[in-house]
Amino acid sequence: MPLAKPYLDIPGTTIFDAEQSRKGFHLNQFCMSLMKAANRERFKANERAYLDEWPMSEEQKQAVLARDLNRCIALGGNIYFLAKIGATDGKSFQQMAGSMTGMTEDEYRNMMIAGGRSAEGNRKLGEDGDAQPHRQPQGAVGKTK
Amino acid sequence: MAHITASVYTSHVPAIGAALDQGKTGEPYWQPVFKGYDFSKQWMKDHTPDVIFLVYNDHATAFSLEMIPTFAIGCADRYQPADEGYGARPVPMVEGDAEFASHIAHSVIQDDFDLTIVNKMDVDHGLTVPLSLMFGQPDKWPCKVIPFAVNVVQYPVPSGQRCYNLGKAIGRAIASYDKPLNVQIWGTGGMSHQLQGPRAGLINKEFDNNFLDRLIADPEGLAKVPHIDYVREAGSEGIELVMWLIARGAMSAKPPKVAHRFYHVPASNTAVGHLILENQA
């Protein structure tokens, strides 16, 4: 019997389950290594060389180099692990989360101050909320791409 | 006998720790957050326990993907604040209670819950931010802390019902310890938030306040809420709320006294929720 995964129809959301974890094992282990100051320095000095020390896929390495967190998550990354890349870059958790929406830092921050993103229209795929795939990217960053 | 006098519930947003550590508590953005804890800091002074049993989730700090314990109890004498990538928070070392923690582990495991026993680990913002919110910035934490880490990062994560039942087992374990300790159990993390993907920033005030209402008055019913409801309604990281059911489960069956309730949006990416519930004698 297949495992129940009722969370696959939530828009803009990837649940970090065993399948994602297997895919992202080395990517996430690389992130863990950034908890040591010496490793952060080595990574910053030569990102590519540091990434090449890990048995990650080329796609995963490119996603890290581009700081494309959505891509990292699709490739098995988990936000709590990926946050260590942001920390190494001196970014706040809000900057990291905001970077995945296509909004500028100010747009995202203002959305949060205004009460955050509504659940209306964002509970299931096929609704019309702002997190739905057909409404991406959401903000000014995405529109200039 | 050890006894649980109260339970404390609070979000553990890392940015709150950063705001404290960087002296930003007076900024207009942060003032309303910290104001919600003014009462709590005074209450803590008046109700400092001997030991806090602190339920939180590790955020890929002590536990990487090499090992993923569903429930892990800290049985060490001390725990170092972790370097989560920004350097360690400038907060005191956390002093444990190895003997009491081992007693609880023994009792809870014999009560059919499979805990992972941890004798060495660093503790991250999940544990240190709640301490900072409740105690401010002392040179030394004024009581001992037993860390209890719950996996809410990699699925499958434990259900609300399992957390609630586990809380009951922890309550029994604490009550069976023969030292006269005043114990608080804290459930931390949570309220609506999503930190990932195009749905990042989700906040659901209605869901959050309904959760607080039911946590106080209907924990049995609340324990039956399935995961998918948390994720759909409160965001992918809103699932952390199941940890509050552990603390609630450990409380007496009598309705608790609500000493304090607070809710605010936003702190960084999340809603901040906070409750202090006292056991009625």
CA–CA dist B172, A20 (Å, integer): 37
Domain with B86, as residue range(s), is: 3-273
Cβ–Cβ below 8 Å for B154 and A78: yes
Question: Which position among B193, B227, B260, B264 bears the catalytic label?
Answer: B193
Q: Is residue B158 part of a domain?
A: yes
Q: What is the pLDDT of residue B281?
A: 72
The size of chain B, in residues, is: 281
Q: How far apart are the first and last CA of chain A?
A: 43
In angstroms, the separation between the Cα of residue A93 and the nearest Cα of chain B is 7
On whether residue B281 sits in a domain, the answer given is no
Collect all residues with Cβ–Cβ distance below 8 Å to B260 and sequence separation of at least 6.
B39, B40, B43, B274, B275, B276
- A62 CA: distance to closest CA in chain B (Å): 18
Nearest to B149 by CA among B174, B122, B173: B122
Rounded distance between C-alpha atoms, residue B76 and residue B79, angstroms: 7
Within A4-140, strands assigned E span none
- B50 SS3 class: coil
pLDDT surpassing 60 at residue A145: no
The beta-carbon neighbor of A79 closest among B61, B64, B196 is B196
β-strands B3-10, B270-278 pairing: antiparallel
Q: What is the pLDDT of residue A144?
A: 59
Residue linked to tokens 């990102």: A47
Note whether A129 and A14 are within 8 A (CB): no
Buried b (16+ CB within 10 A) or exposed e, B93-128: ebbbbeebbebbbebbbeeebebbebeebbbbbbbb
**Kind of pairing between the strands at B182-188 and B3-10:** parallel
Nearest to A25 by CA among A66, A59, A47, A55: A55
Q: What is the CATH number of domain A13-90?
A: 1.10.700.10
Identify all chain A residues contacting B66, using CB atoms and an 8 Å cutoff: 29
Q: Mean per-residue pLDDT for A80-97?
A: 95
Residue B2's nearest CA partner among B127, B103, B118 is B103
Residue A121 to chain B, least CA–CA distance (Å): 11
Exactly one of B12, B125, B260, B274 is catalytic; which is it?
B125
Task: Answer whether A17 touches B (CB < 8 Å).
Answer: yes
Across the interface, do A80 and B269 touch by the CB < 8 Å criterion? no
**Rounded CA gap, B239 and B167, in Å?**
17
A116 with B192: Cβ contact below 8 A: yes
Tokens of B19: 């705001």
Q: How do the domains of chain A map onto residue ranges?
A: 13-90, 92-130
Exposure letters B135-146 (e unless 16+ CB within 10 A, then b): beeeeebebbbb
CA geometry: angle A57, A61, A64, nearest 5 deg: 140
Map residue B55 onto helix, strand or coil.
strand
Chain A residues inside the 8 Å CB shell of B228? 6-7
Indicate whether B12 belongs to any domain: yes
DSSP letter for B240, please. Answer: G
**According to the model, what pLDDT value does residue A2 have?**
82
The answer to whether residue A1 scores a pLDDT higher than 80 is: no
Give me the average pLDDT of each 10-residue run along chain B (281 residues): 97 94 95 97 98 98 97 98 95 98 98 98 98 97 98 97 98 98 97 97 98 98 98 98 98 97 97 97 72
H/E run at residue B265: strand B257-267
Residue-by-residue DSSP string for A83-100: HHHHHHTT--HHHHHHTT
In a domain, B260, yes or no: yes
**pLDDT number for residue A141:** 85
For A31-81, the pLDDT digits (tens) are: 999 999 999 999 999 999 999 999 999 999 999 999 999 999 999 999 999
Is residue B278 assigned to a domain? no
The 8-class DSSP code of residue B88 comes to: B
CA distance linking residue A76 with residue A73, whole number of Å: 5
Is the backbone peptide bond immediately before B266 cis, with ω within 30 degrees of 0?
yes
What CATH number does residue B214 fall under?
Answer: 3.40.830.10
Between β-strands B51-56 and B182-188, what pairing exists: parallel, antiparallel or unpaired?
A: parallel
What's the domain count of chain B? 1
Let me know if B193 is a catalytic residue: yes
- Nearest by CB to A12, which of B65, B197, B268? B197
Q: What is the ipTM of this complex?
A: 0.96
Q: What is the pTM of this model?
A: 0.97
Query: Under an 8 A CB cutoff, do B155 and A16 touch?
Result: yes
Instruction: Report the alpha-carbon distance of residue A138 to residue A102 in Å, rounded.
Output: 5
The pLDDT score that the predictor gives to residue A142 is 65
**pLDDT of res. A140:** 86
In degrees, to the nearest 5, what angle opens at C-alpha B124 toward C-alphas B17 and A38? 100
Cβ B119 vs Cβ B75: under 8 Å: yes
- Nearest-CA distance B124 → chain A (Å): 11
The pLDDT assigned to A124 comes to: 97
| Residue B47 appears among annotated catalytic residues | no
Position B202 scores a pLDDT of: 98
Is the pLDDT assigned to residue A21 strictly greater than 90?
A: yes
- CA quadruple A22, B239, B232, B261: dihedral, nearest 10: -160
Closest Cβ opposite residue A136 in set B87, B198, B228: B198
